[in-house]
Structure 1
Amino acid sequence: MTDPQLPEQHSEEHLELSRAEFDRDNLSDADIEQIKEQRAGDEPDGSFMRWVITLFGTGVGAGILFLPINAGSFGFWPLVFATLLIGPMVFFSHRTYARIVSASPVKGLDVLQVITALTGRKRGFASALMYWLGIYPVVLIYAISITNTLDSFIVNQLGGAQVSRWVLAVSAVGIMTGAYAVGKKLTLWLANVLVYPLIIALAAVSIYLIPKWDFASFRSYESSYPVWQGLLLILPVLVFSFSHMAALSQFALDTQKKQDGDVAATEREVSKVELVTAIMLVAFTMFFVWSCALSLGAEGMDAAREQNVPVLSYLANQTHTPFMAWISPIIAIAAIITSFFGHLLGTEEGTAYLLRSVAPNFAARFSANALRWGVNIFVFVTAVIAAVANPSVLDMISVVGGIFVAFLVYIMPALLFHKATAFKHYARRPDTIFVLVAGLVIMAVTVWDMVAG
């Protein structure tokens, strides 16, 4: 990709060979303009800890809202093995995915632009479509969840009359989308503000539930699946529950800017941030999952599933204690908001890219800022409609996590690493192979479960 208007960094011979694979003609004029904009910022958007918190907030929502309901239903031993396995899966998969941007020898390209420049427009479009299908439905999931959470809170905790879902959805989704539309820096700041009390409250609830733990009841719970099959069936929901893919591309770009395009320094920084994020996600989320599973029991998990509400809302309604009644919806709402912002970041990236691919002349008429506002309006309208319709959240999670997220985060990077010279040195690494095998297993299990079900 040689363009005098897009100056490159480094001059080493092997990097020059890698850069030669990046075909500028695969990118639209709108892409080139966006790349210039992505390179041009004076300062990075986030510090080390700010990005840790943003990535944590993006991933923590689904894990604490829905994972206890699903993972606990397979019994004690599958949950034990899943707890041991999820840490390496989260760290290695997301670090591998982030490398598409952080290890790219061409500065300023987001993940979809890297794939397109290396593999051509057709493969780039297919990847963008998968990316969009892996992130945009998650925005809808959180719109449904916050509407149900607010509805449950008003009726059960405040003792009020049931409010129209249209009013709740328009208000909640409108506030979240509007806050994001004001600007990315405000979004990162708000995510930081919300996540710190979220972490404290999450730990407090997990500890508060300890006296209600019933190991004997949970260990004696017999799932209809053998242990190995239960473990496999947990994996798609685990993948979804810990996914923070939506914010990784912009995070890697921001780190690239912070390190002035130095590939090695960018890689080190991304790895460190991702390691801290993965540790925090696994520690806080799995402690919460175990605490809920041990205190809810099989009947409680089945009831929460039927009500289509986050586990915290169900706990608040069942315990009838002031502490749980007020802290549970607050945690749920904070978790939804932080995750909504992270996935809206990815939705904006994916939708704008698809629009530039399908209708480049139309997209070229608008500035990057105008495109962002258009995406935000589209998200607002469709998310409100989804929240009013109220489909099953757990069914959506299984498909999104087991098909789209598994392919994008676990399989696609390994395929790209094998194809492109720029990433060849990652292709046969043990962590890359581990991630690829895990992704293939997860996708196979999801498809099998859909067909068998």
Structure 2
Amino acid sequence: MNRRDLFWALSLYGTAIGAGVLFLPIKMGSGGLIPLVMMLILAFPVIFLSHRALCRFVISSDATSDDITVVAQKYFGNIGGMIITILYFCAIFPVLLIYAVGITNTLDSFIVNQLHMNAPNRLLLSFVLVGILIFIVSFGQEVIVKVMSALVVPFIIVLILIALSLIPEWNTNLFKNVDFSWSRDIKSLWLLLPVMVFSFNHSCIISSLAVYSKEKYGKDADIKSSKIIATSNILMIATVMFFVFSFMMCLSPDDFKLAQSENISILSLLANIADRFQNPIFKVIAPIMIYVAPAIAFVAMWKAFFGHYLGAQEGFNQILFKLSNHKISPSFAKKITISLTFIIAWIASYMNPQILGMIDKFVGPVLAIILFIIPLIAIYSFDELKKYKKPLQNLFILIFGLLTIFAAIYSIIYN
């Protein structure tokens, strides 16, 4: 793998590792050991096969510059392409809102709990933070990819160090009273699927990866892009699952419920309860941890915001082109996208909707449709993708896509 491919693998990792990972331990905290082990086993095939299928969908177009919105129109026509473009946009744009909310809550919690100051005016705080984010993404794709690549390696190191620093606080409570139950444990895993799909999601940058692979590798684009996706997936699953496991080994279900009620990430929770830990190692690093943990959460959500903006801009620009019958210029479409993103993200950040609720009931299932369902429909409908007809792999993708969608419907009805 050359340097440029490695940058892309790190960019995929950087896009996925953000708010979802920082909220995944909170969601998994009440599930116990069995769902954790089952998710560890299933994570790679679910994430890799679905993202590879989406990448292949874009690569199947001969034109190297065709992104997912253009390919969708070629295969499914104007109406079908528009529907897929809207779904693609709806799968990604709410994630930007989640990150805007998470970033604002992280800084607000830091000011109140670590700096012991009065809570800032949320309207002004959200305006400044969202404004800075939009200013950075306005510089374009190349800057975004470079920024994310530069941030990923330090972030991986810090993520692992935080997980390792918790080892002296590990206890055996997670392994007590482990009694496998199909009804309880399978249901817990099932209801975790929307958050898992979101936590490891990097679909918004897959289209850009496919375009890059087609331009650089031509006929070998599928092989090269698959290696890039696999590399990033192995890295993210290894680090994230160890991160989740470390927190589950030292925190109680009540701690996870507290974080959910306060709508904060696991790192903000760690900073708020750091003085509770008694081991000598953590006592030494606690004064640093209470400042480092929120900072890491802040950086994680910032870089993930950048990656998701690429996909949101791609989808929204295409919608604008369709609505204007391609009379609008790309530069003007970009200005509209940036302006509306700022306004809507600012409003969402100020209103502070419940993050896990948004993931469970909206983002997760729409992502499942984009990642699991649409590529399969294309594979079995068009000759250009017939070489990807692999029954066992495709059945696996279909089953988990449907399970994710039904889990969201269940959460909407019963929660």
2:118 to 154, 161, 170: 161
Q: Indicate conservation of the 8 Å contact 2:379/2:388, yes or no.
A: yes
Q: Cα 1:396–1:221, aligned 2, differ >3 Å: closer, same or farther?
A: farther
Aligned to 1:111: 68
Separation (CA, whole Å) in 2 of partners of 1:67 and 1:218? 20
Pair 1:292 & 2:257 matched: no
One-letter code aligned to 1:151? D
Aligned to 1:138: 95
Aligned runs of 1:190-229 on 2, under 5 Å? 190-217=147-174, 219-220=176-177, 226-229=184-187
1:408 to 357, 370, 384: 370
Aligned to 1:439: 401
Identity of aligned residues (%): 33
Pair 1:316 & 2:271 matched: yes
Aligned runs of 1:206-285 on 2, under 5 Å? 206-217=163-174, 219-220=176-177, 226-259=184-217, 262-263=218-219, 265-285=220-240
Aligned to 1:34: none
One-letter code aligned to 1:110? D
Offset from partner CA, 1:293-320 (integer Å, 9 cap, x none): 2212101000000000011001101113
Q: Indicate conservation of the 8 Å contact 2:106/2:264, yes or no.
A: yes
How big is the shift at 1:255?
Answer: 1.7
Offset from partner CA, 1:29-51 (integer Å, 9 cap, x none): xxxxxxxxxxxxxxxxx810111
1:364 to 315, 327, 342: 327
Offset from partner CA, 1:52-78 (integer Å, 9 cap, x none): 111101101134210000012112111
User: What is the TM-score when the length of structure 1 is the normalising length?
Assistant: 0.85
Separation (CA, whole Å) in 1 of partners of 2:158 and 2:256? 21
- Structure 2 unpaired stretches of 5+: 276-285
Q: Indicate conservation of the 8 Å contact 2:32/2:174, yes or no.
A: no
Separation (CA, whole Å) in 1 of partners of 2:382 and 2:176? 48
Q: Cα 1:221–1:330, aligned 2, differ >3 Å: closer, same or farther?
A: farther
Separation (CA, whole Å) in 1 of partners of 2:32 and 2:174? 10
Separation (CA, whole Å) in 1 of partners of 2:140 and 2:80? 31
Separation (CA, whole Å) in 2 of partners of 1:330 and 1:89? 31
Aligned to 1:78: 35
Separation (CA, whole Å) in 1 of partners of 2:241 and 2:216? 32
Separation (CA, whole Å) in 2 of partners of 1:283 and 1:290? 11
Q: Cα 1:209–1:274, aligned 2, differ >3 Å: closer, same or farther?
A: same
How big is the shift at 1:280?
Answer: 0.8
Q: Indicate conservation of the 8 Å contact 1:141/1:393, yes or no.
A: yes
Separation (CA, whole Å) in 2 of partners of 1:390 and 1:222? 38
How big is the shift at 1:182?
Answer: 1.3
Aligned to 1:10: none
One-letter code aligned to 2:334? R
Aligned to 1:420: 382
Aligned runs of 1:119-134 on 2, under 5 Å? 119-134=76-91
One-letter code aligned to 1:300? D
Offset from partner CA, 1:327-381 (integer Å, 9 cap, x none): 2112101110111011100100111111122232xx5232x12211220111111
Q: Indicate conservation of the 8 Å contact 2:362/2:408, yes or no.
A: no
How big is the shift at 1:105?
Answer: 2.7
How big is the shift at 1:438?
Answer: 1.2
Q: Indicate conservation of the 8 Å contact 2:105/2:264, yes or no.
A: yes
Q: Indicate conservation of the 8 Å contact 1:403/1:446, yes or no.
A: yes
Aligned runs of 1:40-119 on 2, under 5 Å? 47-119=4-76
Q: Indicate conservation of the 8 Å contact 2:94/2:363, yes or no.
A: no
Q: Cα 1:278–1:426, aligned 2, differ >3 Å: closer, same or farther?
A: same
Pair 1:350 & 2:315 matched: yes
TM-align CA RMSD: 1.8
One-letter code aligned to 1:439? G
Q: Indicate conservation of the 8 Å contact 2:174/2:248, yes or no.
A: no
One-letter code aligned to 2:379? F
Q: Indicate conservation of the 8 Å contact 1:235/1:442, yes or no.
A: yes
Q: Indicate conservation of the 8 Å contact 2:111/2:118, yes or no.
A: yes
Q: Indicate conservation of the 8 Å contact 1:133/1:400, yes or no.
A: no
Q: Equivalent residue of 1:120, what SS? A: helix
Pair 1:148 & 2:114 matched: no
Q: Cα 1:80–1:327, aligned 2, differ >3 Å: closer, same or farther?
A: same
Q: Indicate conservation of the 8 Å contact 2:17/2:236, yes or no.
A: yes
Aligned to 1:12: none
Q: Equivalent residue of 1:182, what SS? A: coil
Q: Equivalent residue of 2:100, what SS? A: helix
- Structure 1 unpaired stretches of 5+: 1-45
How big is the shift at 1:226?
Answer: 0.8
Separation (CA, whole Å) in 1 of partners of 2:167 and 2:160? 11
Separation (CA, whole Å) in 2 of partners of 1:197 and 1:307? 28
How big is the shift at 1:429?
Answer: 4.3
